[in-house]
Chain A
């Protein structure tokens, strides 16, 4: 489904600020995979998502989705296959428009024509879809009046409306209070299950990453250092994950030391 081959991203190449954010990343995502991505700050999780979504061009490597090479496709063209949700709840919706107008915008992807898409029939459909997130009676209200949790729930609904091939969830509950975060996470699980979506989710919660999804990826310093799936993942616990991380890093440190002394 998603094939990432030898992707490298270097920020500010050739300057003193040069930073290798991703180094030779190879990742193959199967259809139906639900992958939790963990890693400390600056490990390259967000950069990886930005590369997949096309926010910045890659320095090297190729990205394919459903066999199509999208390495150089602009972000808006990739959006046909990718639904992305940001940490900032204000990014996914337009605040100065009503809920139904926002929904109508997300109903079909791509350039809009001179038609009146928002028909009574479509309103009815939206009402049904908005029922589970408790916004059915506020369809004419401006999105700016909603709380962060409600906006994120709406963003989620809008992103899943077009059944994208891949969902990218970039810590999408991190900016919410615990109760709303839980609600939005439950909705996320519901939509992913219902639509049999393929998803990649960045999270800081190790326990959650272990419990949810069929695959876990750990990133560190621009590398994927752990990729655990299936049964092996089912057996995973927090201490064993931490132990694994230590093991891998220690190996690296010793080799680094080796380099220094020689």
Chain B
């Protein structure tokens, strides 16, 4: 049970990392996610079903996600549309594309083929099969996270981070913000699609409706993570995002298991997730206001002290 939550949380964390890139690092409200996560699942599933193998499937799902991100970024760059609208356009178009990828079926199952979650217990036969899935996912997520950390420590990664804070800086340093947005959104959706590819294997099928409401869920995970601790180091930012995802999945599990006690059904989860995001934003806002107030108070105290010293 607990390992189930952890596996779900870890798979979900890869998507949350993608959302972290678009929402927090790039500061772009990208809704492509709802489409690209399903694209990732569809591409991985079709690759595996058609015998191309798991590795090819995951690589292809990542690349498909990158492509989705590039489409959104191009619409945003070329037509100067707000990224929100560009994302909605891509997401909507992707729904049809995903159905095409799945061969005009709403879902394709992965029974009777080898998936990662069928192979993990074989590879890690030295531990109980339930934990083998967890172990395998953990290795995968750690590898992805380390790659992401390393990328955002490079000069290019840092430039992308700087652009999220202040686009003018990037222009002043002779970089084209449009290309950085392409790279950033491509990477973000690549991660999201990769998570979709894993998710399809974990649940044993790909579904064209898989992505519905994923952005908000991912955002909730990112925000829960931000409550854990504050840092400006990328490795800690990604770590707290992963922890936030696991906590989110844990909360949803509790909701499913004990929700009936207070009359909550899985139908209410989207509402509750939305409320969770709103509450997180409210708390974050009051928190930053409080710290501003604190800083102001301290500044006043400092000047008072200085004046007293001057008098003395």
Contact = CB atoms under 8 A, between A and B. Distances in A.
Interface string A44-84: 00000000000000000000000000000011110110011
Contact of B161 (A75, A91, A94): A94
Interface in A90-137: 90-98, 101-102, 104-106, 108-117
B161 A97 contact: yes
Contacts of A98: 232
A76 B161 contact: no
Interface range on chain B (Cβ under 8 Å from partner): 20 to 34
Contact of B158 (A75, A91, A97, A108): A97
A94 B155 contact: no
A159 interface: yes
A94 B154 contact: no
A96 B175 contact: no
B164 A96 contact: yes
Interface range on chain A (Cβ under 8 Å from partner): 35 or more
B303 interface: no
A187 to B, nearest CB: 18
Contact of B162 (A77, A105, A113): A105
B153 interface: yes
A241 B168 CA distance: 36
Contacts of B153: 116
B128 interface: no
A142 interface: yes
Contact of B169 (A74, A92, A108, A114): A92
Contact of A95 (B154, B156, B165): B165
Contacts of B174: 76-77, 79-80, 109-111
B50 interface: no
Contact of A79 (B154, B155, B164, B172): B172
Contact of A112 (B155, B164, B177, B232): B155
A101 B166 contact: no
Contacts of A80: 174
A83 B155 CA distance: 20
Interface in B124-163: 151, 153-156, 158-159, 161-163
B310 interface: no
Given A97-B232, A101-B158, A110 B175 contact: yes
B170 interface: yes
B179 interface: yes
A101 B162 contact: yes
B173 interface: yes
Contacts of A109: 173-174
Prevailing SS type, chain A contact patch = loop
B212 interface: no
B171 interface: yes
A79 B166 contact: no
B282 interface: no
Contacts of A102: 162, 169
Given A84-B172, A115-B155, A94 B177 contact: no
B55 interface: no
B302 to A, nearest CB: 13
A113 B155 contact: yes
Contacts of B155: 104-105, 108, 112-117
B104 interface: no
A91 B151 CA distance: 25
A76 B154 contact: no
Contacts of B164: 96
9 contacts: A75-B171, A93-B169, A94-B161, A98-B232, A102-B169, A108-B155, A109-B173, A110-B173, A112-B154
Given A94-B163, A112-B175, A117-B154, 10 more contacts: A79-B174, A97-B162, A98-B232, A101-B162, A102-B162, A109-B173, A110-B174, A110-B175, A112-B155, A112-B158
Interface of B: 151, 153-156, 158-159, 161-166, 168-177, 179, 232
